Amino acid sequence: MNEAPVQHPPTPATDGRLLPLPPHAPWVRNSRFSRWFGRTLLHLGGWRMVGAFPDVPKLVLIGAPHSSNWDGVWGFAAKMALGLDIRIIGKKELFWWPMGPILRRLGVIPIDRRAPGGFIEQIAGRIRSADQFWLGVAPEGTRKQVREWKSGFWKIAHAAEVPVLFAYFHYPDKVIGIGPLLWTSDDPVADMVRIREWYRPWQGKNHGTI
């Protein structure tokens, strides 16, 4: 039986810009400076967060619309401000010195896409074997507006038997929002249609999702 996760200090939310992390969310220890830096960036940019994080130890978080490099700036600022230990996928070829230690510190995990079984099973296996694991994915896979989203996030969540958490950028109001959880069904097409429709109202810096 897995031990109960370590309880983390509450995320500062007195400025109305952040959301508290629930007890089972993975968090970064000894990150006081990072939290201050992230809060400062969000404050200077005029961004705030809305919604609520689910109290779930393992999930796949998808973020959309992804239409600008600025999405990464505000996304990492929120990650630092919250002290949230969310992982993202990177090609193993990127992990040369000195970039490797920097990327790992930022929560990027190296994946070998040519490995037997493919990267889906690599990530799903990591999630299954961990006590806590939040994976962040940009389902569009590009800053350009696309007709179809990549289904990798769905396959990972389905294989790992964890839910998908909806997160979004809405640039007109400078909001980073947290939406509902979705447990994948056995019908990926229907799930993707449902997800895309939920994202319809949200507007990125340069375009929406539909």
pLDDT tens for residues 6-62? 444 444 444 567 899 999 999 987 678 889 999 999 999 999 999 999 999 999 999
- Predicted local confidence at residue 16, as pLDDT: 62
Q: Determine the pLDDT at residue 93.
A: 64
Paired residues of 108 in beta bridges = 88
Residue 5 in this model has a pLDDT that exceeds 50: no
Closest CA to 50 of 73, 74, 16, 26: 16
pLDDT at 23: 94
pTM for this structure? 0.84
pLDDT of the residue at 115: 66
Residue 8 is predicted with a pLDDT of 47
Q: Is the pLDDT of residue 198 over 90?
A: yes
**pLDDT for the residue numbered 129:** 96
What residue type is assigned to position 171 of the chain?
Y
Band of the pLDDT at 158, cuts 50, 70, 90?
very high
Instruction: Return the higher-pLDDT residue of 204 and 90.
Output: 204
Residue 4 clears pLDDT 70, i.e. is over it: no
Report, as an integer, the average pLDDT of 169-189: 95
Structural tokens at position 105: 């510190």
Torsion angle defined by CA atoms of residues 158, 159, 163 and 168, in that order, rounded to the nearest 10 degrees: -80
